[in-house]
Structure 1
Amino acid sequence: MYVYVLAVIFIYLFFKRRPAAILEVYEPWSPLSYFKQWIIYLGILNNKRKKKSAVGHKKAGFGLKALDDVNQMEYPQDLGSHPLAVDAVWFGGGNKDGVYLVISGARRQERIMQSMLFLYVPGFGLLQHTNMPETALVQTEEESKGWIGGGINLECIKPLKKWIVKYTGEMVNPATKEVYQVDINLTYNSADKHFDFDSDMNPWTVARAMAREPWSQEYFARLRAAHQNHYEQFGELSGDISIGENKMNLRLQVMKDHTHGSVRDWTLLHRYCFHHFATPTGLQGFLGIVSQPGTLSYLELGWILRNGTPYPVEEVDMKIWNYGENGDDTEDYGFRFLAGNQWYNVQVTLCHKKKGHAFYGKSWEARIVERFCRYKINDENGWGVSEWEYRHRGGKKE
């Protein structure tokens, strides 16, 4: 009798008309989603149970990591033959004194490195690479073996322990147009554990995102094709920065990430909202929402480091269609998230109206906004960088 009743309920839910997507983008939760979430959740748990070792880049994800050897993982990866292949590293963060830095390099085909470089220093304001908002830099043959180009040099010295982060060249204040000779000579150090998004994300959270979507054979093929291997680590950048004749010694709390994949197609992304924060007590986090319609239109993701232990985000209570959906990023707002069985209330306030703007893709398919923030996390003060991305359809401006 109970089996019959359950079967009738399932059939009813299966054939019930799906609710319309929110703003024709974000797939809504439906009654059938509960069943789908359990199916994916159990599948991820089964993956974790069956396979503890790495499975390679092409089979990674859904609880399975790509590489076991950090010596391989941290260094430049083979791009292969796909025209949209990517191998990218990113450093971003700040300190309690109001200094912020974002520096990145994404190796692409044809010796192109897509890079951002933004530096905010009180008294000088926002400085950016003179190539901005364009991110594409042409590398030499030798430079293309690593994250080097346009004066930027990001190099792993000891995997998950030490990197050098350097820049030598001109930077411009976009508001005043004043140009400065800048030398950045920093060392990244970390003794903290990294977080692998292939294997360390909360299975129930991943399953919830997939359960929203309409399933088909084509859906799972798109999901697999769009996958990128990604891991992150918190650490500290320390060293010297010179702006003209002014030299300063800095210590910045930052997040480093490394992404490798056979396809990074910016046209697939609708938008995302990420938040990095650090606090005086050592609590750090990187979390937010990604919207990639057709695969994961509303994905909650991220992690925190609390007392030296990484915890995956279980829930991000931030309905991003209520935050800057029109293309203007929100500057003063709040949300909450769940990680390590604890809820955190977050208040975000932009320190400065000046933001870093960058475009990615040959036709500027994506617009990135780097925002320098003050945070309040459960009444504790914090600081960091918030990165928002929007799909850009206005084409490249010469």
Structure 2
Amino acid sequence: MVFLLALGLIFGILWTLISVVLKLLGLKPPLIFNKYPLKGIFYRVKFWLALLVLRRLRYRIYRRNEEVLGSPEHLAKIDRPQELSTDPKSYDVVSFMAANKEGQKLMVTLERRRRGVLKAALYLWLPEQGLLSSPNLPDMIHFTTEDGQESSEFQGGGFHVYQEESMKVWRIQYKGVLKSQGEEEKDIPVNLDLRFKSSSTEHFDYSRDLSSSLIADSIAREAWNERFYSVIRSVNHIMDRRTHYEQNGELSGKLILGEKEFPLKMLGFRDHGFGTERCLSSINRYVYFALFLDDGSSMVVGNLSQPSFFLSSLKVGYVCTPTGQYQPLTWSNFELYSYGEKGTPPQHQNFIVRTEEKEYLVQIQEEASAVRYVGGDWDSKVFNQFVACTVNGVAGQGHAEFLYRHKGGRPEDIAAKDPNWYRNIKQFERSLTLLDEQEERDFIF
């Protein structure tokens, strides 16, 4: 009897201690601008716990399955245009960013959604011409099929982007007009035909290759409350619903602009993402840099704020060496609250990042900028900057994106041109939103 009483007392004490620990871990840390958490008093404990869990999770999902995930069959499966599922938020997006020593820069992005909806943008920065863009911008929405039929290609609005060799070669074609961004806007006929080629199938998968230390740092800053544990319990499900990888290579081909034809050759990368978890309306902010250096290396640096997913400030990125080796960033002092928090991106940025092998001082200066809106109801506003940079003294060129929430909606004069079936869907979505007391909105398109 005494033994049972003692055992009960021990269990009672342990349960009390566990409850106290969980309560302490759930304390809300200090916030900057009421959004970005600082390191709380239990940051180090939470960091090492998160790091341990992340490493075990990644081993179970990726490391022990490397042979299958690296097979030609699997790579071919994830690299081709994806069949969109019946989920209304299903998406498939491919993007290219590139630049060269002469200062020429190109950005192309195409996002396939259900019923033939294509969100597309093209920017071309030429030092002698200035900034040119696809004519629909700042709106990105194109309707590529009759009566909202499904589509299986990255095609429409003058674009055709397609795979020629799995994980090696993609083709980018655009025929139409580009709009000049100077004081006097004019449409210039253009025929763009480029080939993106990678020297190998190596790529940077964000779920597999992003530094565990950066993810653990972000998680350790959050309050570990019941909502947090609910997200953790569903992490496998969430990861199954999104894939995102990038691959460096060379972009080359020809450009016919007006009556002038000239070749283009740039260092660049291809980005491919698909799944059902890409709702921009839940993202607070992000900043993203893609830099291409004169020594043949490249660098991606970013910071994402998505508090609804308990990632109020997630730093991401990597360095790709001239030989095509990807080195994840393990530390960065680029903080969102220091750069453009009030809604206007800075024209100059200086920050430091590190990999396991090296530290980099990054200095960036804007040369031109443009605005586009993303999401079916213009849920977000993106500033695309075209920049010159210096990294540890090595010159380069590149791109920057600053995304902010946008609550102004898509203008009626633009929406009035949409097909009736799409307008009816948007009206239905808004009616559902009015019935929902939550602030976050998950628009289908």
Structure 1 length-normalised TM: 0.90
Quick one: percent identity of the two aligned structures?
26
State the aligned residue count.
383
Measure the CA separation in 1 of the matches of 2:207 and 2:24: 30
Q: Paired residue for 1:119?
A: 124
What is the deviation of 1:19?
3.0
Kindly provide the CA deviation profile for residues 299-354 of structure 1, in whole angstroms up to 9, marking residues without a partner as x: 010111124321111112111111111111111120010113311000000123xx
Aligned ranges 1:28-39 → 2 under 5 Å: 28-39=38-49
Match of 2:260 among 242, 246, 257: 246
Aligned to 2:97: 92
**Structure with a larger share of its residues in helix:** 2
- Aligned pairs for 1:131-170 (under 5 A) are 131-140=136-145, 144-170=151-177
Q: Which runs of 5+ in 1 are unaligned?
A: 57-63
Q: CA deviation at 1:143?
A: 8.1
User: Which amino acid is the alignment partner of residue 164 of structure 2?
Assistant: I
- Find the counterpart in structure 2 of residue 61 from structure 1: none
Structure number with greater Rg is: 2
Give per-residue Cα distances to partners, 1:211-249, cap 9 Å, x unaligned: 112224433545747653110011111000011101110
TM-score, normalization: structure 2? 0.80
CA gap 1:55/1:298 in 2 versus in 1, 3 angstroms? farther
Amino acid at match of 2:155: I
Q: Give distance in 2, aligned partners of 1:67 and 1:39.
A: 35
Aligned pair partner of 1:331 in 347, 359, 367: 347
Partner of 2:319: 304
Distance 2:344 2:71 in 1: 36
Cα distance change, pair 89–235 in 1 and its aligned pair in 2 (3 A): same
CA distance in 1, matches of 2:70, 2:169: 22
Unmatched segments (≥5 aa) in structure 2: 1-13, 414-445
Question: Which of 169, 172, 178 matches 1:171?
Answer: 178
- Calculate the aligned-residue CA RMSD, in Å: 2.6
1:18 aligned residue (13, 19, 28): 28
Distance 2:393 2:73 in 1: 39
CA deviation after TM superposition for structure 1 residue 200, in Å = 1.0
In structure 2, C-alpha distance between the alignment counterparts of 1:87 and 1:12, rounded to whole Å: 39
Distance 2:254 2:81 in 1: 26
> Counterpart amino acid of 2:195?
T
Q: Counterpart in 2 of 1:53?
A: 65
Q: Residue type matched to 2:176 in 1?
A: G
Aligned to 1:145, the other structure's residue is in SS state: coil
CA distance in structure 2 between the partners assigned to 1:276 and 1:301 by the alignment:
12
Using a 3 Å threshold, how does the CA distance of structure 1 residues 212 and 233 change in structure 2: closer, same or farther?
same
> Residue 77 of structure 1: CA displacement?
1.5
Match of 1:110 in 2: 115
- Paired position in structure 1 for 2:435: none
Equivalent residues of 2:255, 2:264 under 8 A apart: yes
**Letter of the 1:346 counterpart:** V
Change (3 A) 1:220 1:185: farther
CA contact (8 A) 1:285 1:304 kept: yes
Find out whether 1:75 has 2:80 as its counterpart: yes
Query: Structure 1 residues 375 and 168, CA, compared in 2 at 3 Å: closer, same or farther?
Result: same
Q: Find 1:205's aligned residue among 208, 214, 218.
A: 214
